[in-house]
Structure 1
Amino acid sequence: MTARVPGAGRGAVVAGLGSYVPPRVVTNAELCGNRPVGDEWIRARIGVGSRRVADGEATVDLGVRAGRGALAAAGVARCDAVVLATISPDRLLPGGAPEVAARLGCGTVPAFDLASGCSGFLYGLGVASSMIVSGAFDSVLLVASDVFSAFLDPDDWLMAAIFGDGAGAVVLRAGDADEPGALGPFDLGSDGAQADLLEVPGGGARARKRALAAGEEFSPYFRMDGPVVRKQAIVGMCDSVTRAAHLAGWSVDDLDAVAAHQANQRILDGLAAELGLRPGRMLSGIEAYGNTGAASVPVLLAQAAAAGTLRPGMRVALTAYGAGLAWGSTTLVWPDVRAVTDDG
């Protein structure tokens, strides 16, 4: 489904970015130990050289650090609402967003969690944008935070090689729909018939009911069908970016940069080839941070903005694909915006 953000004049504008990754660096050498595969194999197959792992910090903790950076970058003390996108909640109940809001000094503003897998940040942008464009709010803090290491089987070193922990955040403000930084139309979609391709089967109501009825045990760890997801992600994000660009009145050739979910360097390379992007237009930070789940796109944006890779006036597409299955894309002309990055 494709959807234009309602309201021709009012837009949701990127006003500040923040990111935080934990200080602990786990290199490929440390991860592999005495295994016959090592750094070269992981870099060739996944594109990851190291990843950050949270020690003693949880999803809300990381989100607060990233949110604080985004607020500082935007030059504001608080926002009218807070949205937390995560696939690694600290608790099943309550959601973490109210705690993020409280710890950031936002008081009793509306705050809620959003769970859309690795597409959570794109879905969060769509929701937050609609909140602003509708006139209900003048600003929204969107935080994406994941401590994915808490959901990985300690005996599955390959999953540990792929994923890292991190958080990214953006402050959106009300502005003109045509000004730099205003989010363009959104392309969002899902395919729940393939929900079991990426899942954490244990811990929810379904597993609890079955366990009580039949004594079954369900794994609390993340699992995925990597080869199937990889192929679908490339095609899915390509189609979604193309639709979002078309809704914005652009062609794919007009794009100066694409910030895609950092799932795997092979996926990023495949997406760049499928879109026909010229070299250097597909942004990548997976080598240093791995796949940080819902946080991967905002972490990438904050790092690229701070490094000057993203410059005012560039036409940028954002896209993600992940568990649900769910995917999403949008566009914007990059504004003159600050980013506060915290590498622990």
Structure 2
Amino acid sequence: MALVGCGSAVPAISVSNQQLSERVDTSDEWIRTRTGIGARRICSADEPLTALASRAAQAALEHAGWAAEDLDLILMATSSPDDLFGTAPRVQGAIGARHAVAFDLTAACSGFLFALITAGQYLRSGAMRRALVIGADQLSRWVDWDDRTTCVLFGDGAAAVAVEACPDAQNGLLGFRMHSDGSRNGCLTLAQTDTHTDVLGGVSAQVGGFAPLRMNGQEVYKFAVREVPAVLKELLESTGTPASDLNWLLLHQANQRILDAVADRFAIPHERVLSNLASYGNTSAATIPLMLDEAVKDGRVQPGDLIASSGFGAGLSWGGALLRWAGPQR
């Protein structure tokens, strides 16, 4: 699988820490010191997730030099779809990818990496030739804006990566690891509401709906700083890759302290750690491709660069992938 294009889209509305402090008891210094976040993007009423994801998908197609009809697969990682039956088919229709099968994959903040790995297996098997992997979330609709432990963290966004089948010598997915631990699921949840309605005598049915996002921040932080270095160590050892060979460390953008801790564990200079937390916060499944697109477009990531990436979050789930960026093949 070769990574040959990328694109992103974010809402126009940006909410700064200072603005947020007008609603909840917090401050710019408090948020920046603990998370590295300075602002986050929020979808407006007329800017649904489908629209963002479609813009990101179209941008990735244009970067790769593909027509939408060239696509065989659209795989969308999201935990906040516009439609519980699937948002990927809406994107497929919006961009005119009439030959592509399209479906959603839900793995929260690990979602994009899990989706990229999944797409890679379809391409490697020969069943498909070209795929678009999208990471997109609109968690602003599920955040309790009066809960300062969560509302300061999350933002909305979408990004996509175009990948295609290739000879083994050009493979850009050099190795991967994926893990889940459902026994710790309660640390980070977006659970159904426990509300029922009477249907008829003696029979009741659950009313659909979800409670606001809830997180045990301390436990999630401890989980991340323990498991992310472990999975990356496992990945680098299994592929025979010294950390010194890496051009970039690209982690899920959850907390700057986590990014710095992982870099220090592998003696990777902080200037080689990709981070855009200050501008976007945690956009869940969108963070990794959003950061990749920014770094490709501003020239930091060049064709041939070796990238160690890790996603981690609700589930609890986590994983790692060793990637080589190819760029458009024109």
Tell me how far 1:142 sits from its aligned partner: 0.7
Moved more, 35-44 or 323-332: 35-44
Structure 1: which 5+ residue stretches go unaligned? 1-11, 339-344
Q: Spell out, residue by residue over 1:238-259, the C-alpha distance to the aligned partner (whole angstroms, 9 max, x if none).
A: 1111222223320222212110
Structure 1 counterpart of 2:308: 317
Moved more, 239-248 or 285-294: 239-248
Structure 2 counterpart of 1:247: 238
Partner SS, residue 108 of structure 2: coil
Tell me how far 1:154 sits from its aligned partner: 2.4
For residue 87 of structure 1, the aligned residue among 79, 88, 93 is: 79
Tell me how far 1:210 sits from its aligned partner: 10
Partner SS, residue 278 of structure 2: helix
Structure 2 matches for 1:269-308, cutoff 5 A?
269-308=260-299
CA contact (8 A) 2:174 2:321 kept: yes
Matched-pair identity in %: 36
CA distance in 2, matches of 1:37, 1:153: 15
Structure 2: which 5+ residue stretches go unaligned? none
CA distance in 1, matches of 2:168, 2:28: 46
Q: Spell out, residue by residue over 1:298-332, the C-alpha distance to the aligned partner (whole angstroms, 9 max, x if none).
A: 00000011111112232211111111111111112
Partner SS, residue 185 of structure 1: strand
Tell me how far 1:226 sits from its aligned partner: 0.6
Structure 1 counterpart of 2:162: 171
Structure 2 counterpart of 1:231: 222
Structure 2 counterpart of 1:150: 141
Go from structure 1 to structure 2 and tell me whether the alpha carbon gap of 1:213 and 1:198 turns closer, same or farther (over 3 Å shift).
Answer: farther
Go from structure 1 to structure 2 and tell me whether the alpha carbon gap of 1:217 and 1:74 turns closer, same or farther (over 3 Å shift).
Answer: closer
Partner SS, residue 201 of structure 1: coil
For residue 321 of structure 2, the aligned residue among 311, 325, 330 is: 330
CA contact (8 A) 1:121 1:294 kept: yes
CA distance in 2, matches of 1:298, 1:146: 12
Go from structure 1 to structure 2 and tell me whether the alpha carbon gap of 1:210 and 1:176 turns closer, same or farther (over 3 Å shift).
Answer: farther
Deviation >3 Å, runs of 4+ = 34-37, 207-219
For residue 26 of structure 2, the aligned residue among 37, 40, 46 is: 37
Partner SS, residue 30 of structure 1: helix
Partner SS, residue 272 of structure 2: coil
Structure 2 counterpart of 1:195: 185
Partner SS, residue 165 of structure 2: strand
Structure 2 counterpart of 1:64: 54
Tell me how far 1:175 sits from its aligned partner: 0.9
Moved more, 41-50 or 326-335: 326-335
For residue 161 of structure 1, the aligned residue among 136, 152, 175 is: 152
Go from structure 1 to structure 2 and tell me whether the alpha carbon gap of 1:155 and 1:142 turns closer, same or farther (over 3 Å shift).
Answer: same
CA distance in 1, matches of 2:42, 2:317: 26
Moved more, 270-279 or 184-193: 270-279
CA contact (8 A) 2:37 2:281 kept: yes
Structure 1 counterpart of 2:66: 76
**TM-score when normalising by structure 2:** 0.92
Structure 2 counterpart of 1:138: 129
Tell me how far 1:39 sits from its aligned partner: 1.0
For residue 117 of structure 1, the aligned residue among 102, 105, 108 is: 108
CA contact (8 A) 1:31 1:157 kept: no
Aligned residue-pair number: 322
CA contact (8 A) 2:150 2:215 kept: no
Tell me how far 1:201 sits from its aligned partner: 1.4
Tell me how far 1:120 sits from its aligned partner: 0.3
1:27 aligns with 2:16: yes
Q: Spell out, residue by residue over 1:274-317, the C-alpha distance to the aligned partner (whole angstroms, 9 max, x if none).
A: 22212312111100110000100000000011111112232211
Partner SS, residue 135 of structure 2: strand
Q: What letter corresponds to residue 82 of structure 1 in structure 2?
A: I
CA distance in 1, matches of 2:207, 2:261: 40
Q: CA RMSD in A?
A: 2.2
Partner SS, residue 109 of structure 2: coil
Partner SS, residue 103 of structure 1: helix
Q: Spell out, residue by residue over 1:137-196, the C-alpha distance to the aligned partner (whole angstroms, 9 max, x if none).
A: 0011111110010010121234221111000101111112222x6111211111111111
Partner SS, residue 324 of structure 1: coil
Q: What letter corresponds to residue 118 of structure 1 in structure 2?
A: C
Q: Spell out, residue by residue over 1:36-62, the C-alpha distance to the aligned partner (whole angstroms, 9 max, x if none).
A: 631111111111111110002222221
Partner SS, residue 4 of structure 2: strand
CA contact (8 A) 2:5 2:328 kept: yes
Q: What letter corresponds to residue 84 of structure 1 in structure 2?
A: M
**TM-score when normalising by structure 1:** 0.88
Partner SS, residue 270 of structure 2: coil
